């Protein structure tokens, strides 16, 4: 990932009322092709209306920083400034992004990183010169989604498309405000679906597109040729920070599920199944009629999975008829449901297809263990519940990082929550006690860290 810049960008849209949160989903799915050679192909009639559902978002954040006198770094001039104290200075940090109107009464979905920490959020509507100050309704950092609200009625709300029906090759349009250029629309196709492991957020199930997505598109909409929302423009993969044809969008179904909870309760609580899982190799798939899915490697006591009768060795292939082809797909799918949701899980056991009705639990019921602190890191043992929650395979042993001080050296070298320290110098680590013992000296240490299937080393 060296020299690669991940530029965060996002979008979304829904339609509902505060008391009864419902989304306006498209029902028809007809693909038509022109037969007249003189026919001029245009999407103006589709995009003319939907562009009113995409807004410009500008934020202001007051930040305080030390005023550094450049002469203080010079040993000669330092003598003249003895007793001098740096006085903190305040400055206003501004940023631009996009958002999508999801209800007629002023609810807008955008990216969490667009509005996170903002002291003031201002929304500009298409065709309206007035600026509207917005309030933050709720946010979900793990998907990078947030909902804001403005005091305005009779807005044009976007309609949703079932993102499970999106196919590679579908024509799509990215709507937003790249580089502050309002009402910009770019065209492309769906390059892939179900992309995960990109490393942008914890829950990834991206739609990949080659439609141009640039800075400022964050929170903007990915629309299909019918004018319905299929995803939230999320990120681009680029060396320069500009578009190179590899963009990612959060699927509309994930957006809808998260936004509903944010509107109702101001926060998103994820569902919990209670299994340890891993992917299936080609050889392993032969034991499951050449199927792929999420292989259950462990079931925790007292969890919804145990109550439903799931066992180690089961291969989960579908949840509510949505096909599951990997462990990350199961994690993302379960993660979009609210606690206490009842789902039907299909799985293979001894090459026979079985079903189980499961009432999902809540991630908030998973109690955290005791933690230790080390140079800006907060760490804890990987207990069964943590392993299940983070979908870590049984082979991964170490201490899990649950929090990183953003001002610490650990943060500056890229250590993230969810990373697992598996080794300190030449000592493999399995728990916090061993970690403390291995780091008790004050000298710098080599830490070997596991992250999403790979291992890298840092000095801390």
Which residue among the candidates 13, 58, 113, 163 is catalytic per the annotation?
Answer: 113
Which residues, 6+ apart, have CB-to-CB distance to 42 below 8 Å? none
- Residue 326 tokens read as 């990997």
Which residues, 6+ apart, have CB-to-CB distance to 320 below 8 Å? 343, 344
Q: Over 219-231, what HEC string results?
A: CCEEEECCCCEEE
165: left (phi over 0), alpha (psi -120 to 50) or beta: alpha
- Computed over its alpha carbons, how large is the radius of gyration of the chain? 24
d(C-alpha 243, C-alpha 258), whole Å: 28
Cα 361 to its chain centre, rounded Å, is 21
182 catalytically annotated: no
218 catalytically annotated: yes
- Residue 61 tokens read as 């954040």
Which residue among the candidates 58, 159, 218, 438 is catalytic per the annotation?
Answer: 218
Cα 138 to its chain centre, rounded Å, is 15
d(C-alpha 43, C-alpha 227), whole Å: 9
Residues in the chain: 460
Other C-beta atoms closer than 10 Å to the C-beta of 305 total 26
Which residue among the candidates 144, 205, 228, 314 is catalytic per the annotation?
Answer: 144
Other C-beta atoms closer than 10 Å to the C-beta of 172 total 24
- Nearest-5° angle of CA 120, CA 121, CA 125? 145
Q: How far apart are the first and last CA of the chain?
A: 21
Active site residues: 113, 144, 218
């Amino acid at each position: 990932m060296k020299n690669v810049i991940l530029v965060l960008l996002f979008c979304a849209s829904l339609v509902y009322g505060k008391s009864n949160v419902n989304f306006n989903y498209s029902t028809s799915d007809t693909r038509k092709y022109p037969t007249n050679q003189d026919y001029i192909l245009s999407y103006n009639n589709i995009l003319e209306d939907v562009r009113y559902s995409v807004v410009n978002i500008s934020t202001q954040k007051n930040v305080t920083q030390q005023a550094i006198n450049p002469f203080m770094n010079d040993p000669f001039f330092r003598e003249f400034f003895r007793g001098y104290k740096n006085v903190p200075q305040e400055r206003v940090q501004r940023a631009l992004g996009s958002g999508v109107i999801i209800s007629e009464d002023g609810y807008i979905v955008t990216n969490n990183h667009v509005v996170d920490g903002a002291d003031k959020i201002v929304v500009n509507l298409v065709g309206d010169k007035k600026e509207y100050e917005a309030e933050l309704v709720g946010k979900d950092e793990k998907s990078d989604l947030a909902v804001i609200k403005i005091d305005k009625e009779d807005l044009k709300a976007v309609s949703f498309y079932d993102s499970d029906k999106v196919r590679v090759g579908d024509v799509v349009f990215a709507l937003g405000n790249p580089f502050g250029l309002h009402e910009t629309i770019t065209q492309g196709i769906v390059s892939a679906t179900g992309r995960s492991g990109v490393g942008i957020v914890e829950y990834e199930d991206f739609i990949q597109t080659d439609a141009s997505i640039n800075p400022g598109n964050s929170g903007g909409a990915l629309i299909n040729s019918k004018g319905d929302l299929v995803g939230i423009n999320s990120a681009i993969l680029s060396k320069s920070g500009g578009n190179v044809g590899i963009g990612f969008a959060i699927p509309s179904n994930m957006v809808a599920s998260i936004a509903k909870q944010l509107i109702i309760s101001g926060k998103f609580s994820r569902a919990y199944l209670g299994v340890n899982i891993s992917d299936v190799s080609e050889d392993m798939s032969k034991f499951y009629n050449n199927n792929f899915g999420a292989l259950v490697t462990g079931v925790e006591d007292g969890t919804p999975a145990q109550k439903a009768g799931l066992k180690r060795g089961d291969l989960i292939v579908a949840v509510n008829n949505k096909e599951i082809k990997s462990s990350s797909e199961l994690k993302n799918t379960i993660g979009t449901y609210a606690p206490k949701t009842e789902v039907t899980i299909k799985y293979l056991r001894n090459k026979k297809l079985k079903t189980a009705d499961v009432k999902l639990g809540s991630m908030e019921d998973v109690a955290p263990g005791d933690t230790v602190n080390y140079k800006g890191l907060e760490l804890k043992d990987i207990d069964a519940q943590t392993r299940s929650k983070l979908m870590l395979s049984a082979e991964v042993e170490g201490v899990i990082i649950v929090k990183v001080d953003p001002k610490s050296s650990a943060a500056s070298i890229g250590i993230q929550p969810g990373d697992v320290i598996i080794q300190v110098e030449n000592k493999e680590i399995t728990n916090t006690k061993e970690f403390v013992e291995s780091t008790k000296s004050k000298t710098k240490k080599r830490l070997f860290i596991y992250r999403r299937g790979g291992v890298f080393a840092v000095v801390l």
